[in-house]
Amino acid sequence: MPRRTVVADPGFGRKLKELREQSGMSLRRLGQAIHCSHGYLWDLETGTKRPSISVAVLLDHALAAGGQISAMVHELSADTAPLPVDIGPKTSAERSGLEFASGWRLGVNLAVDLWQGDMQRRVSLRDIGFSAPAFLPSAMRWLMSSFDERPVGDGERLVGLPDVETVRQMTATYRKLDNQFGGGQVRSSLVRFLNGDVTELINGRYDAATGRQLLSAVAEMMQLAGWTSYDAGLHGLAQRYLIQALRFAAGAGDRALGAEIMAAMSHQAVHLRAPTEAVDLARAAGRAAEEAGVAAIRAESAVLEAQGHAVGGDGAACADALSRAEIIFDKADRTSEPQWIGYFDESYLAAKFGHCFTALGRGDIARRFATRSLEMDGCAYARGRQFNLVLLAVAQAQAGELEEAARVGIEAVDAAEGLRSARAHDYLADLADRLSKHVGLPAVRDFAERARPVLETA
């Protein structure tokens, strides 16, 4: 069968921007309409990415363009085009990586297929599909799990607790690098470790007690693989890692980690403007966290639920969830919590409050929380600091403080240099879009000039 590639007219980006501006839509609003990030739309308009035919059709519909956009995109047969790739047969849902496997051993096989396909580039890293509702069956299966599996390995290599500790230490190292430099910097190395060392371990020989520890450690690493993929803009791939990580956590009987993984699912869903699923996943995470007795994850789940309500425009439900998050956080005894929840502190909580209020258009309230969110370790969490700088600038822009927003925006641009994070790019692109109508102001013009090369080369 001949291979196919998609080509776009050289004027595609210019035409898309023209039609968008004629319709009065911002990049953010258009992204919401077609369920993609505004950063991706920025890339289409600047010509740094090419659209798929399906995206072009969605853009035509959203902008009422009468076919002008899709007419500029064509699929051609070309022997030199890259092979269309996939993780496995489309006839099996489990092979797609979206299935919560019926047994822990099948879960192992699916996970190995996932990261082997990722490592060997059998997965179409940029185009593999994301569907927020696809998270929900896995969350339901988790909530119905009995957690009584006995993961026993019968392979040749003997696996012990020192091997498990190695996996945990490697995950901690990768997590530290992810926070400092972004998911795009560490993702490939992390997947390589899964594909090599971890594959050998989970196919080794171990008793049930060691097996549960091993599955828990690998689940944590897979969750990080999902998180780094999400941060790198590989959303469909991230979704699959998170689902398989949740299956491993179930096999391990690790209720706290399962709650944290579902919280990560909610985080991704709200980022991709799927508020209904984000709320459902946050509530599932909260229930699992309550059963596990981990107050920090309960508080995190409540604030993620609030953000889902905010993105969905429900201010009353958002306020109720924020109140619950604050009460739970204030009462939490954090001395015995897992080390991987250490990032959830006062600054992180303040940032989430800020995101809720900016989503509701209340920059006047969000400014206070965004300012408090910057009382953080900006070295260990360099990416988080960049996010929070953009949050503050957006809040200031909503409050009408345009010159101050531009000044803080320049700080955010500086903070983005050295980060390999699609989210950092998306947030900057959104801020640039918000301020673009005010380029007559010297400070805004300075920000636009400073941000342009960073956005074009991200």
The DSSP string of 384-446 is HHHHHHHHHHHHHHHTT-HHHHHHHHHHHHHHHTT---HHHHHHHHHHHHHHGGGTTSHHHHH
Element (H, E) at 117: helix 104-119
CA distance 429 to 435: 10
Residue at 289 is within a domain: no
Closest CA to 329 of 357, 354, 307, 300: 300
The two tokens of residue 333 are 């005894």
* Of 77, 104, 130, the domain-final residue: 77
* Of 30, 48, 77, the domain-final residue: 77
Residue at 409 is within a domain: yes
CA distance 343 to 356: 19
Residue at 366 is within a domain: yes
User: Tell me, what's the pLDDT at 29?
Assistant: 83
Burial (CB count <10 Å: 0-12, 13-18, 19+), residue 237:
buried
Residue at 451 is within a domain: yes
* Of 25, 50, 77, the domain-final residue: 77
User: Tell me, what's the pLDDT at 77?
Assistant: 40
CA distance 246 to 252: 10
CA distance 330 to 50: 48
**CATH number of the domain to which 73 belongs:** 1.10.260.40
Residue at 411 is within a domain: yes
Taking a C-beta distance cutoff of 8 angstroms, is the pair 339, 370 a contact? no
User: Tell me, what's the pLDDT at 237?
Assistant: 93
Residue at 384 is within a domain: yes
User: Tell me, what's the pLDDT at 82?
Assistant: 35
Residue at 99 is within a domain: no
Domain that holds residue 387: 347-458
User: Tell me, what's the pLDDT at 85?
Assistant: 32
Q: How many domains does the chain have?
A: 2
Taking a C-beta distance cutoff of 8 angstroms, is the pair 271, 39 a contact? no
* pLDDT in 10s for each residue of the chain, 458 residues: 334 455 677 788 888 888 998 888 888 888 777 766 777 788 788 877 777 765 776 787 788 887 788 778 764 443 333 333 333 334 343 346 889 999 999 999 999 999 998 988 764 545 578 899 999 999 999 998 999 999 999 999 999 999 999 999 999 999 999 999 999 999 999 999 999 999 999 999 999 999 999 999 999 999 999 999 999 999 999 999 999 999 999 999 999 999 999 999 999 999 999 999 999 999 999 999 999 999 999 999 999 999 999 999 999 999 999 999 999 999 888 787 888 888 899 999 999 999 999 999 999 999 999 999 999 998 999 999 999 999 999 999 999 999 999 999 999 999 999 899 999 999 999 999 999 999 999 999 999 999 999 988 76
Residue at 237 is within a domain: no
User: Tell me, what's the pLDDT at 445?
Assistant: 96
CA distance 304 to 325: 9
CA distance 36 to 433: 16
User: Tell me, what's the pLDDT at 83?
Assistant: 31
**CATH number of the domain to which 449 belongs:** 1.25.40
Neighbours of 319 (CB within 10 A): 15
Rg (CA), the chain: 22
Closest CA to 262 of 237, 232, 234, 287: 287
